[in-house]
Amino acid sequence: MEETDRQKFLQIVTRKLVSLTAGCMIALLIIFYIIELKNLERTYLVSYVFLAGLIGGFVSIQQRLPTIGLSELRELSNSWLSILLIPINGGIFAIVLMLMFLSGIIEGSLFPKYSHPSIDQTNLVVSFVTWLTTTFPESGPDIAKLLFWSFVAGFSERFVPQIIRKTIDKTDDK
């Protein structure tokens, strides 16, 4: 009986994960369509970063399903919120990681490089909006690196918190 319940809960959770992943992909296609429709030269890259982190979170849950206990599977199968929580955290961690790349806290050949516009101190609101829409990775490979690391941030829920802790430890030592 326990194995039958386990399989039933696994199927429910898997269906929910597939539905949510498909929903994310549809959202991404809609964003691409709107950008193409409005002939926008730049886009808010943060939406792609968030979606890559979200998808990483979905894949992470799917990978862990075989090892999850029956009670946790039951909880996941009964709640959309429980299934969404890890991917949403992954999306948020992906954005935090992108900010760490932008600020130069994390640098190296494995990480994306950005071109930044100058900031006008007299009109910070307009400068911030300009910065959001024009700060972009320098090349195609840098965009690929950003999306890869965004997926990793969602897939490995401990990755970004560990980077934050190590950064804090380095500043405490100084």
Per-residue pLDDT tens digits for 143-157: 999 999 999 999 998
Is residue 14 exposed (0-12), middle (13-18) or buried (19+ Cβ within 10 Å)?
middle
Per-residue pLDDT tens digits for 9-46: 888 888 888 888 888 778 878 877 777 777 665 567 88
Q: What is the pTM of this model?
A: 0.80
The domain ranges of the chain are: 2-173
Task: Decide: 90 and 53 in contact? Cβ < 8 Å.
Answer: yes
Per-residue pLDDT tens digits for 106-161: 999 999 998 877 777 787 787 777 777 778 898 999 999 999 999 999 999 899 99
What pLDDT, on the 0 to 100 scale, is given for residue 47?
82
